[in-house]
Amino acid sequence: MIRTSNSPILSIVSPQYISCFNKPKKFSTGALSRQFPPEQIHLPEYEKALHPERDEDDFLPASLNKTLLDELLRGKVGFNGIIVTDASHMVAMTASLPRREMLPTAIETGCDLFFNDPDEDFQWMKEGLENGLLTEERLHDAIRRTLGLKAKIGLHNTPREEIMLPKEEALSRIATEANTAVVRDVADKAITLVKDKQKDLFPVTPERYKRILLVPVSGIKGGFGAMIAGNKPKAHDHLKALLEERGHEVSIWESTEEKIMKLPEEERGAAIANVYAQKQPIANLTENYDLIINVGDVNSGGTIQRTIWPASKGTPDSPFYVHEIPTIYVSVQNPFDLADVPQVGTYINTYDGMLVTMEELVKKLAGESEFQGVSSVDPFCGLWDTKLWRDRK
């Protein structure tokens, strides 16, 4: 549910919460639930149970499915608000019907508002009404529900400037002290010490670990997430600054691949051919560092959420040194990174890499704050080796 400081409550619920495992789930449908975006989910087992005569080829995503919107959502669940399509260029919708049929079908099957409507779409909606794909009855029902919602939240008599605040005023309501306090509290209670097998590793203080090497670990790079992130400081940048403030000497490992990409193009071929020569004596680590922290920043918004190890061998990118030097693996996004580093004895999930979260993490590393987080998923990924620690001491 969403409440702003000067607006009524709106409840925006997605069908992906109704069916995560192909089984309908209940959600709030009281007076506060008014808007519902159907997304692009399917419920094939549910639909087959209600209509065994249907062939699987007839099953459509929720935005185009009268069984899911009318029989389930409005009928069985009792939702009486408006239903809004998600972005209509998503593949689940566009792969189901031609666009000229998809638009009126979405409204006819139960959606009240269509998201993304260029002039072409408006024309196809009119054609659908004229050729019978969209009925007058359903059109008027959608209009009635939409106007009813607008009246309920006062849009018909609220000045535009009260709805769309000036930029400066709107930004002043973001990241307030109260909001930041909530974020800090959530981070404090969420950070999870998943695997704690190394004896006497904590606390991490300058007296015990003066020289720290931070090793960034990533997944597939690029894509939309990279465009959004831009050049913002990453989790390992925050950690470096925070640890240095406490008196640690902190270095950040630059991967062999990154070094090669900085070379002139004509020199890269020879460097790639020589990539295995990057192997170093273990003494290069043990004599220069007291602690290594691998910072796994694997994009949780990507379609592939796995660690990508570089081609080079014998470099700190991959924690091959866990029995040579104290090592901590911190995953700041993907809570399942342990599957790719089962050899580590100490593994922590922070769930995000924001500065405030890294501040709380450093407190816990230093023994100033207890680890309180409890995993809501299986961070061991159902694997036997993720729980192992071969302590030879």
C-alpha to C-alpha distances, 356 to 64, 216, 307, 387, nearest whole angstrom: 42, 19, 24, 29
In this prediction, residue 294 carries a pLDDT of 97
- Same structural domain, 86 and 195: no
Mean pLDDT of the chain, nearest integer: 83
Number of domains in the chain: 2
CB half-sphere exposure, 292, CA atoms < 13 A: 28
For residue 272, tell me if it sits in a domain.
yes
For residue 185, tell me if it sits in a domain.
no
Whether pLDDT at 189 is above 70: yes
- Same structural domain, 128 and 200: no
- Same structural domain, 149 and 198: no
For residue 180, tell me if it sits in a domain.
no
In this prediction, residue 118 carries a pLDDT of 75
- Same structural domain, 95 and 201: no
Q: Average pLDDT in the 237-243 region?
A: 98
Active site residue 86: yes
For residue 3, tell me if it sits in a domain.
no
How far apart CA 73 and CA 15 sit, in angstroms, is 9
Q: Which CATH number fits the domain that encloses residue 106?
A: 3.20.20.300
Q: Minimal CA–CA distance to 39: which of 83, 77, 72, 96?
A: 83
Q: Average pLDDT in the 315-323 region?
A: 88
- Same structural domain, 152 and 21: yes
Count of C-beta atoms within a 10 Å radius of residue 73: 26
Question: What is the span of the domain harbouring residue 313?
Answer: 191-387
The distance between the two most distant Cα atoms of the chain, rounded to a whole number of Å, is 80
C-alpha to C-alpha distances, 89 to 13, 26, 92, 139, nearest whole angstrom: 20, 28, 8, 22
- Same structural domain, 232 and 362: yes
For residue 156, tell me if it sits in a domain.
yes
- Same structural domain, 109 and 226: no
pTM: 0.74
Q: Which CATH number fits the domain that encloses residue 319?
A: 3.40.50
For residue 103, tell me if it sits in a domain.
yes
Domain's final residue, options 134, 169, 204: 169
How far apart CA 346 and CA 313 sit, in angstroms, is 22
In this prediction, residue 38 carries a pLDDT of 58
**Of all helices (H) and strands (E), which one includes residue 121?**
helix 119-131
For residue 102, tell me if it sits in a domain.
yes
For residue 309 the two structure tokens come to 């190890």
User: What is the DSSP secondary structure assignment for residue 156, as one 8-state letter?
Assistant: G
Q: Which of 57, 58, 70, 86 is the catalytic position? A: 86
3-state secondary structure of 11: strand
Q: Average pLDDT in the 198-215 region?
A: 96
Identify any residues that bridge with 328 across adjacent strands, giving them in sequence order.
293
**Of all helices (H) and strands (E), which one includes residue 266?**
helix 265-273
- Same structural domain, 69 and 217: no
Domain's final residue, options 121, 137, 169: 169
For residue 254, tell me if it sits in a domain.
yes
Helix axes 99-108, 119-131, angle to 10 degrees: 70
Enumerate residues 6+ apart whose C-beta is below 8 A from 9: 1, 2, 3, 32
- Same structural domain, 198 and 156: no
Residue 117 pLDDT class (50, 70, 90 cuts): low
